[in-house]
Amino acid sequence: MVERIVAAAEDVVAERGYDGTSTNRVATRAGVSPGSLYQYFPDKDALITEVLDRYVTALEARISAAFPGRLGPDLSPASIRGVVSELVDALAERPALLRVLSERLPRTAGHRRVAFAQRIDNVTTTALRFRNGPDPLVPVEAVAWVVVRTVEHVAISYVLEEPDLERSMVVDELCTLVSAYLRLRAAP
């Protein structure tokens, strides 16, 4: 039941965006009565949050798996390229949901997204610390934060803006950008 509802909601959200998603429409699509919907979700927002939450979870799984050694401390160019490439692929799979997620970020499912980003921040921070050792001159938290936002949003922009640029070229440049920066931020 919950599955049917969430699946229907996913479709509707992807097709019609946040505002175009009415509880009645979801219920109809799920072949369920509007009342039933409220047996499992307190309100509309909770339902859509669930949809976006699942999306973020799936995204997390895919991206985490791309980190060699499960989010390990590897920051070599090859590893970076693998992660970035996988990230773009993952985001490109459901652009409609990505768009809704980007639009509605702070209100509902934003928490999950931010939480995920922060986890990546931590992993990156750890990796930097591991590589650099205790170096008070490099603000690793800030470095990690900037790098993670850069990769995240450039990838998202590429998927949503659909600029007239080759995917591989953009991925190359993004990797070059990140590698150049991280090389600079590694202890000498």
Beta carbons of 151 and 143 less than 8 angstroms apart: no
Q: How far is the CB of 24 from a second copy (least distance, A)?
A: 11
Q: How far is the CB of 71 from a second copy (least distance, A)?
A: 20
1 part of the interface to DNA, by CB under 7 A: yes
Helix (H, G, I), strand (E, B) or coil at 107: coil
Draw the binding track, 103-142, toward DNA (x: CB under 7 A; -: no contact): ----------------------------------------
Judged by CB under 7 A, which of 8, 14, 37, 182 binds DNA? Answer: 37
Backbone φ and ψ for 42, nearest 5 degrees, come out as -60, -35
Helix (H, G, I), strand (E, B) or coil at 132: helix
Q: How far is the CB of 59 from DNA (least distance, A)?
A: 25
State which amino acid sits at residue 163.
P
Q: In the structure, how many helices (H) and strands (E) does the chain have?
A: 9, 0
Angle at CA 155, nearest 5°, toward 87 and 74? 45
Residues that bind a second copy (CB under 8 A): 17, 19, 99, 102-107, 114, 139, 141-143, 145-147, 149-150, 152-154, 156-158, 160-161, 163, 165-166, 169-170, 172-174, 176-177, 180-181, 184-185
